[in-house]
């Protein structure tokens, strides 16, 4: 995040998606688009379709060699998903560059949805109603009888803004045992998803990316406690 670069950032995944009125050009030209980006995304995954689903609405995926990044393309959407995020300016430039290449096969007249999502994964450190995580200034006011240790957290709220909305999802993800018998630790997910729906002029796209990132950044840093900030800076 650009507000303050954190050496121990918990950011695990960033994705930006646009949706638009469906058009066959988006898939008819997929071979040309694949050729244009296959040096970065050499693998193609074709979606499986369940009974009753419309095949054109399921996204094909172009995936990087290390599977850390992927492009999703369908008749009505384009998205870029990265697990190698460094700073917003770099991610923004890459998304827009890939989108420019996609626009060579189909340039929609307008958008129907814009989304920018940041998924942060914190180590689980226990929770109470007053403080859901020691790295966050986040808790609930509850009756005294409910002031207890919390073992399960899974909730979503949507904050409304003049320029869009922010979906905030908080969830404890419990450990799983992998096939190698390696124990994966419990985590606490802070998922921040900025979005706007409706008829969106295409020329507003870059401005929405900036507003979405600024909104997510402001909320994320407002949520951090001093302990959390120090841990992410590596000073504690």
Please write the tens of the pLDDT for every residue from 120-176.
999 998 888 888 999 999 888 888 888 888 888 889 999 999 999 999 999 998 876
CA 65 from centroid of its chain's CA atoms: 21
d(CA 145, CA 138): 19
Packing angle of the helix pair 88-103, 30-37 (nearest 10 deg):
140
Q: By mean pLDDT, which of 5-9, 79-83, 167-171, 201-205 is the weakest?
A: 5-9
The per-residue pLDDT for range 55-86, each reduced to its tens digit, is 667 899 999 999 999 999 999 999 999 999 98
Q: Report the mean per-residue pLDDT for the chain.
A: 90
Per-residue burial over 6-38, b = 16 or more CB atoms within 10 Å of its CB, e = otherwise: beeebbebbbbbbbbebeeebbebbeebbebbe
> Would you say the pTM of this structure is higher than 0.85?
yes
Residue with tokens 């002031």: 147
Cα torsion angle, 31, 32, 33, 36, sign: positive
């Amino acid at each position: 995040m650009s507000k303050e670069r954190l050496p121990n950032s918990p950011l695990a995944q960033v994705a930006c998606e646009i949706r638009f009125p469906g058009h066959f050009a988006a898939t008819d030209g997929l071979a040309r688009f694949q050729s244009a980006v296959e040096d970065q995304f050499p693998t193609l995954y074709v979606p499986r379709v369940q009974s009753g689903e419309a095949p054109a609405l399921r996204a094909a995926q172009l995936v990087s060699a290390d599977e850390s990044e992927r492009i999703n393309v369908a008749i009505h959407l384009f998205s870029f998903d990265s697990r190698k995020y460094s700073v917003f300016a770099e991610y923004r430039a890459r998304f827009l560059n890939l989108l420019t290449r996609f626009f060579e096969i189909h340039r929609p007249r307008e958008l129907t949805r814009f989304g920018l999502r940041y998924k942060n994964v914190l180590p689980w450190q226990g929770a109470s109603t007053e403080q859901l995580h020691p790295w966050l200034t986040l808790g609930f006011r509850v009756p005294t009888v409910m002031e207890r240790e919390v073992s399960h957290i899974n909730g979503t709220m949507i904050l409304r803004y003049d320029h869009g909305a922010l979906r905030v999802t908080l969830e404890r993800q419990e450990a799983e045992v992998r096939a190698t018998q390696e124990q994966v630790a419990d985590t606490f997910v802070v998922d921040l998803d900025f979005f706007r729906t409706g008829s969106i002029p295409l020329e507003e796209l870059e401005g929405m990316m900036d507003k979405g990132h600024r909104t997510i950044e402001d909320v994320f840093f407002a949520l951090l406690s001093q302990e959390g900030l120090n841990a992410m800076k590596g000073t504690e």
